[in-house]
Amino acid sequence: MIKKVTKNTILKMKEQGEQIAALTSYDYLSTRILDKAGIDLILVGDSLGMVVLGYENTLPVTVEEIIHHLKAVSRAKPRAMIVGDMPFMSYQASIEDAVRNAGRLVKEGGAESVKLEGGERYVPVVEAIIQASIPVVGHLGLTPQSLYHFGGYKVQGKDEESAERLLSDAKALEKAGCFAIVLEGIPWQLAKRITGSVSIPTIGIGAGPHCDGQILVITDMLGIYENPLPKFVKVYDELGERMKKAFERYIDDVKSGRFPDMSHSYSSGNEKKE
Ligand code: KIV
């Protein structure tokens, strides 16, 4: 029997030096395929706002939207651990909001843990969610919900002072009880230092090769995108281009009358009378 990935599995993977392979997913079918491929961790990320719903950034994403996509992903019953992303303003205003919303992701969406952006300042929030028996993944560095605070999508932790702050944020999240931390958009040297300084796994995205695992946005790595991709994305297929070509062939077939032919049509069995 295939064993479900849990928080303990993820922690053990760091101990045993096994890399954690993670991707985002937002729907049932992709999750089934990810499961067959053997992914360890699936994040229903607020990136869905941009790559599924067409928002300009992740800020408009609601708890309801995350739950809607979490439901589709959890119906696929993957072996991988399902992490639900806490969207902007679902945990910033109060601890009570945070616990209630994290609970909704688990209870209504089927998340097995939640992720939230932020460091030391969010320790009371992380602790309260864990108190409610919900495992938490931290998220540090170029955290997209702080887009306006950063003044754009800028690599974080490049100078000594901000690097030290990120290191102490990571230690604070570990102490608060997070079972993993996503490190996004930071220099690889800092990611290496953080990874070596905490006992919980780091999962990198734009954080170089020395993290305990890696995560990418599924549509980026499949080559389904419109805007230029960041440097850290490795594109494993050009599915967007291949989909466009398939749609063009279909349109051409329909317009020229090549589709449907008899092999794609039902018969009454009375062909001779037609
Ligand atoms: O929302 C998301 O997809 C994420 C990943 C980029 C880590 O937070």
Residue pLDDT, tens place only, 191-233: 999 999 999 999 999 999 999 999 999 999 999 988 899 999 9
Instruction: Quote the CA–CA distance of 102 and 116 in Å, as a whole number.
Output: 10
30 Cα to the center of ligand 1, angstroms = 16
Among 117, 184, 226, 274, the active-site one is 184
- Is 205 close to ligand 1, i.e. is its CB under 6 Å away? yes
Question: Can you tell me whether residue 8 is helix, strand or coil?
Answer: helix
Q: What are the residues facing 203 on neighbouring strands?
A: 182, 213
Domain boundaries, the chain: 7-233, 239-264
182 Cα to the center of ligand 1, angstroms = 9
CATH architecture, domain defined by 7-233: Alpha-Beta Barrel (3.20)
224-251: b (≥16 Cβ within 10 Å) or e: bbeeeeeebbeeeeeeeeeeeeeeeeee
- pTM of structure: 0.97
Residues 217 and 34: beta-carbon distance below 8 Å: no
- Is 25 close to ligand 1, i.e. is its CB under 6 Å away? no
Residue pLDDT, tens place only, 99-151: 999 999 999 999 999 999 999 999 999 999 999 999 999 999 999 999 999 99
- Is 24 close to ligand 1, i.e. is its CB under 6 Å away? yes
Atom of ligand 1 nearest to the CA of 184: 7
Instruction: Quote the CA–CA distance of 83 and 62 in Å, as a whole number.
Output: 16
